[in-house]
Chain A
Amino acid sequence: MATNGTKSAKGSGGAALAVAGASLVALSLLSLCVGEAGLTLGQLWDGLLRRDEFAAMVLWQIRLPRLLVAALVGAALSAAGVVMQAFFRNSLASPGLLGVSSGGTAGAVVAIAIGATATSLWVLPLASIVGASLATLAVVGLARRGASTERLLLAGVALNALLGAVTTYVLSAYERNTQILFWLLGGVEDRTWEHVAMAAPVLLVGALLWPLGRSMDLLALGPREAQSLGVDVRALRRKLLVFSTILSALATAVAGTVGFVGLIVPHILRLMVGPEHRRLVPLSLAAGAAFVVGCDIAGRLVGDLRLGIVTSLIGGPFFLWMLRKTP
């Protein structure tokens, strides 16, 4: 027996999902057309159907993989942000600020440095997951006694510094200096279908998160309260940690450290449709994808600004604004 209020809120959730989906489609088309060789919609169509050889080459070898990687990275990071914020009951928690992305990066570069990534396509994302998991465990351990904002952010500062040092050292020691930029300031240029395949499990994890939305609402208001209302809190928290770690790690494995997406997108969505996770989870996937695709286009239009720089230029001031509002 939903009241009018609940119905209209649900309606706005559906409307927001439609808007996010439409934006994603529009930005995706734009992303495919914009670049060094601009394509018209007609050329785009011919290229997709391989009727225009040049356009087909640009699309199938460069722009489609780049678009899909950007979309998957955005979906992963913003859903990971939503999950971490519910887990820590803190709207500043996100993969970048807590050092989980840095953990994924460190894991990935170590795997590259020791040559393990040559053995299989899946070594890189797995190494990234291992690194991100260690960072997640460290944050959870440090923030165990009530995740106050100070404690969380300080844990993140320490982890980001430590793991950033590991990444920089490994890359400089192994004479892959050109790669440092990619891993520390993420980007989506020169992505291939292999990277799309590596990031594709994001969709599976997103689908697994969907039914947990209601219990995430209860958890976000307190683990003890949630347990008293019938939520198996221990099992739920374990799942949420695993999912958010995998999402952050997969994004990092294919695009390096792209900051602030998991902070900005969930926050704006909460302002638009409220904090209920049954709406936030699907919406964060679509809106996160649209946001990162948009940032990638903006970077290309301004003149090859890396994706990580664009998200940081937007996210840095946004974060400071949020910090001012936090009591």
Chain B
Amino acid sequence: MDAAQDALTLHAIDVPGRLSLASLALPRGALVGLVGPNGAGKSTLLQVAAGLLPPGPAGKVRWEGEDLARVPMLDRGRRAAWVPQEAHFEFGFSVRSVVAQGRFAHGDDEAGVDAALARLELAALAERPVNELSGGEKHRVLLARALATEAPLQLWDEPLAALDPRHGLDVLMLARERTRAGGTVVFSLHDLRVAHCLDYVVVLQGGRLHAAGAPDAVLTPALLLEVFRVRAETAPGLTLFLP
């Protein structure tokens, strides 16, 4: 794979006690799922990829082939967006003003803020104080802020965990819209059935890379048994779609 074709490459990542990873390249335009048991290093990988944790003494993170260490802080806010797993808001900023923070690196131009609010069905909540929202609503605010950045690389930490089924499906649709527009979305998740529908899957275990590639090739019954200690079977069950 040509390095310029990769949205994100990680080399010699070493975060003591949390993540040790020799090499990983994620293709541009892919919808990438990050799976692994609790404590596997998914959040750490996303934070290293976002430049929020140091990659270790010899570690290198590249965005579109460019060394992240050379990317100025303000540019980073335009090129990648990170959504944390937990939404904690101490002060009563309005939903709109939190989403508008996504435009900080664009000189606070407010472009796309209304669209991002509408896309995550937050327009009606726009003037509400963000610390009074429910957990799922807070998560949608964080996703809307990430969307407002218009960053090509989107790094989301368990975006589906706090959401009801409908909003969960909608977030997957949103991720697909981003990749269709040429962006790359990397997100961690626990639902292996969802992971199976993505373009690319990265399996972590105990802070190490176990496998990466197309879901069909990676999420084999043998791997699922070894890593997750679950038995996989294709069987008819309940399948959900957006109306």
Binding site for B on A (CB under 8 A): 1-3, 5-6, 9, 89-91, 214-215, 217-218, 220-222, 224-225, 227-232, 270, 274-276
The answer to whether B105 and A89 touch across the interface, beta carbons within 8 angstroms, is no
Assess whether B84 is interfacial by the CB under 8 Å rule.
yes
The answer to whether A224 and B82 touch across the interface, beta carbons within 8 angstroms, is yes
Report the separation of the CA atoms of residues A214 and B88 in the bound assembly, to the nearest whole angstrom. 19
The answer to whether B91 and A224 touch across the interface, beta carbons within 8 angstroms, is no
Most buried by B among A5, A224, A229: A229
Binding site for A on B (CB under 8 A): 47, 50-52, 73-78, 80-82, 84, 88-94, 96-98, 101-102, 104-105, 108, 110-111, 113-114, 126-127, 142, 145, 149
The answer to whether B126 and A228 touch across the interface, beta carbons within 8 angstroms, is no
Contacts of B74 in A (CB 8 A): 230, 232
5 A-B pairs with the lowest CB-CB distances in the bound complex, closest first: A230-B77, A230-B105, A275-B91, A228-B82, A232-B73
The answer to whether A90 and B84 touch across the interface, beta carbons within 8 angstroms, is no
* Interface CB pairs A-B, < 8 A, 7: A1-B111, A1-B114, A3-B96, A228-B80, A228-B82, A229-B77, A274-B92
The answer to whether B90 and A91 touch across the interface, beta carbons within 8 angstroms, is yes
Report the separation of the CA atoms of residues A217 and B97 in the bound assembly, to the nearest whole angstrom. 9
Contacts of B75 in A (CB 8 A): 230
Question: In chain A, what residue has the closest Cβ to B104?
Answer: A229
Contacts of A215 in B (CB 8 A): 104
Min CB gap A320→B, angstroms: 20
The answer to whether B91 and A270 touch across the interface, beta carbons within 8 angstroms, is yes
Question: In chain A, what residue has the closest Cβ to B82?
Answer: A228
Question: In chain A, what residue has the closest Cβ to B103?
Answer: A229
Contacts of A2 in B (CB 8 A): 110
Q: Pick the residue among A5, A91, A220, A232 that contacts B126 (CB under 8 A).
A: A5
Question: In chain B, what residue has the closest Cβ to A147?
Answer: B90
Contacts of A5 in B (CB 8 A): 94, 96, 126-127
Contacts of B93 in A (CB 8 A): 217, 220-221, 274-276
The answer to whether B52 and A214 touch across the interface, beta carbons within 8 angstroms, is no
Contacts of B111 in A (CB 8 A): 1
